[in-house]
Amino acid sequence: MNRSQTSGFFKAIGRVLPRQGLLTTEEERRPYECDGLSGYRELPLAVALPDQVEQVQKILSICAEYEVPVVARGAGTGLSGGATPHREGLLLCMTRFDRIIDIDPVGRTARVQPGVRNLLISETAGRYGLYYAPDPSSQIACSIGGNVAENAGGVHCLKYGLTVHNVLRLEVVLMGGERVIIGSEALDTPGYDLLALLTGSEGMLGVVTEITVRLLPVPSTARALLASFNDVEVAADAVARVIGAGVIPAGLEMMDNLAIRAAEDFVQAGYPRDAAAILICELDGTQAEVDRQVELVSSVLREQGATAVRVSSDETERLKFWSGRKNAFPAVGRISPDYYCIDGTIPRRQIGRVLRRIAELSKDYDLRVANVFHAGDGNLHPLILYDSSKTGEFERTEELGGSILSLCVEAGGTITGEHGVGLEKIDQMCVQFESCALEQFHQIKSAFDPNGLLNPGKAVPTLARCIEFNARHVHGGELPFPELERF
């Protein structure tokens, strides 16, 4: 846009929004320059803060007319750069859509606006004995709109599913400004499953302006087990054994020694500081059922070589067991100037082997790696510790991350289990998908957004980019050329 077009655009957008709804000065825009992936920063052209769906519709239609890119943003806790602004684009911040519109205790649903924080839904539904199951570790801060866009998971997804399993209906505004309802309060809608397609679409297909989620009854009993191991691979193998015993725990998480010590120093959860790894396993259901499962799982864990198994005796202790896990990321943040979270998922039986290989890579790259992850789902979260003030260290970190993701694909897994591709993993998409599948993704995108204005440059790489990436990397991604610049 030239200067007069830009001022025409600002005027048009300004007319739609309430006062203080459009931020244009550098000082005002600065706080929005990155999401949780702070290694990627960009100042947007402007930030819009609408609070009504009609405003979103008008904004998107004006942006379509001026051909201005739009990046939706929830709470900005995303870890893949999904909400990183576009330099020539409008950042559409949805935080003012912060109302819980309705909770229906009979039909067990909640109708909420996208800016509502994940945890607030469960807190509000709690008075009816209901809750919203997907519980990302960021749940005090992240928005439900961002959860839908990323198909967020959490520690209880093993038993209760991801966001896609718990959303019933969306109100979405398309790039031209049209409003459309996807899904319904019934259990299905005729035609294509657009609800599944929209969930996890990283703000590329439409802007979500209202969400109806399914609520579940709060289990009458929940108890957590804390098992210690003196070998990481033994702990990893125990994960598959628990599942193999026919038990689906409500959560099954693993932490390695570096993560255990960081968490212990931060919140004193009572973890064994000298253990090579711990597993936290939650079992829920009716009292009788839980008692039996606790017995069964304890004996499986002991047989598998756990050196100690503690069972929470009351709610306080259960929450204490979890506190270390839930605070593990910030805890790791205290022992290193920066950390970088990887999100590959692998088949459970590969966990031991892949963790061993990650430890080797960690040595090769001379960067510490802490592991704290959703073991029951096979969803790894290696945290690479680095210092961005040291030249070349961020680049080395990214290379290590890329190698870990290639390792996950090779092990039969995927480059992202819950954090999304965003900007961060866009090159690794070339490792995971054939070019015709990527081309099919581009066509899906065009079906919703023919001019490619919503969150451009994210999630799906262009074929040209993949050709370039593959030329730089020996197949399998194991031999990077660190001297070549990325981004």
Partner 1 sequence: MSALDRCDSIVAAVTEAAERETALQIVGGDTKSFYGRQPEGALLSVGEHRGLTHYDPTELVVSARAGTQLSELCTALANERQMLPFEPPGFGDQATVGGTVACGFSGPARPYRGSLRDYVLGVSVVNGRGEHLQFGGRVIKNVAGYDASRLMAGAMGTLGVILDVSFKVLPIPEAECTLSFESGEREALRRMNEAAALPLPITGSCYYDGILKLRLSGSAVGVSAATANLGGVVDSLNNRLWEELAEHQHPYYGSPLPLWRLSVPAAAGPLDLPGDSLIEWGGCQRWLCSELPAEHIREAVRAAGGHATLFRGGDRSGQTFQPHDPVLHRLHLRLKQAFDPHRILNPGRLYPEL
Ligand X SMILES: Cc1cc2nc3c(=O)[nH]c(=O)nc-3n(C[C@H](O)[C@H](O)[C@H](O)COP(=O)(O)OP(=O)(O)OC[C@H]3O[C@@H](n4cnc5c(N)ncnc54)[C@H](O)[C@@H]3O)c2cc1C
Residue 58, beta-bridge partner list: none
Query: 71 touches which of ligand X, partner 1, none (CB within 5 to 8 A by kind)?
Result: ligand X
- x/- mask, partner 1, residues 342-381, rule CB under 8 A, reads ---xxxxx------------------------x--xxx--
- x/- mask, ligand X, residues 417-436, rule CB under 6 A, reads -xx-----------------
> Which segment (78-86, 215-223, 266-274, 475-483) binds ligand X by CB under 6 A?
78-86
> Which segment (20-28, 44-52, 66-74, 354-362) binds ligand X by CB under 6 A?
66-74
> Looking at 2, 288, 389, 391, which residue binds partner 1 (CB under 8 A)?
288
Site for partner 1 in 221-260 (CB under 8 A): 240-241, 243-244, 246-248
Euclidean distance between CA atoms 125 and 137, whole angstroms: 19
Q: Is 150 in the site for partner 1 (CB under 8 A)?
A: yes
> Looking at 46, 47, 94, 125, which residue binds ligand X (CB under 6 A)?
94
Site for partner 1 in 182-221 (CB under 8 A): 182, 184-194, 196-197, 199-201, 204-205, 217-220
Site for partner 1 in 289-328 (CB under 8 A): 289, 291-293
> Which segment (27-35, 39-47, 181-189, 270-278) binds partner 1 by CB under 8 A?
181-189
Complex with partner 1: residue 324 or 420, whichever CB lies closer:
420
Complex with ligand X: residue 78 or 352, whichever CB lies closer:
78
How far is C-alpha 419 from the chain's CA centre? 3
> Which residue in the block uniquely carries the two structure tokens 């990046």?
71
Q: Is 152 in the site for ligand X (CB under 6 A)?
A: yes
Nearest by Cα to 64 from 2, 9, 11 = 9
Compute how many residues bind ligand X; rule: CB under 6 A: 36
Residue nearest to ligand X as judged by C-beta position: 146
234's enclosing H/E stretch is helix 232-244
Query: 157 touches which of ligand X, partner 1, none (CB within 5 to 8 A by kind)?
Result: partner 1
Complex with partner 1: residue 92 or 300, whichever CB lies closer:
300
* Cα dihedral across residues 322, 245, 258, 418: positive or negative: negative
Euclidean distance between CA atoms 90 and 85, whole angstroms: 8
Give residues with Cβ within 8 angstroms of 202, minimum separation 6.
Answer: 82, 149, 150, 420, 421, 422, 455, 458, 459
> Which segment (42-50, 151-159, 314-322, 388-396) binds ligand X by CB under 6 A?
151-159
272 with 260: CB under 8 angstroms?
yes
371's enclosing H/E stretch is strand 369-373
DSSP state of 176: T
3-state secondary structure of 253: strand
Complex with ligand X: residue 145 or 352, whichever CB lies closer:
145
114 with 208: CB under 8 angstroms?
yes
The angle, 0 to 180 degrees and rounded to 10, between the axes of the packed helices 328-335 and 315-326 is 50
DSSP, residue by residue, 269-320: ----TT-SEEEEEEEEESHHHHHHHHHHHHHHHHHTT-SEEEE--SHHHHHH
Complex with partner 1: residue 391 or 443, whichever CB lies closer:
443
Using CB under 6 A, list all residues that contact ligand X.
35-36, 71-79, 82-83, 94, 114, 136-138, 142-143, 145-147, 149-150, 152-154, 202-203, 207-208, 329, 418-419, 455
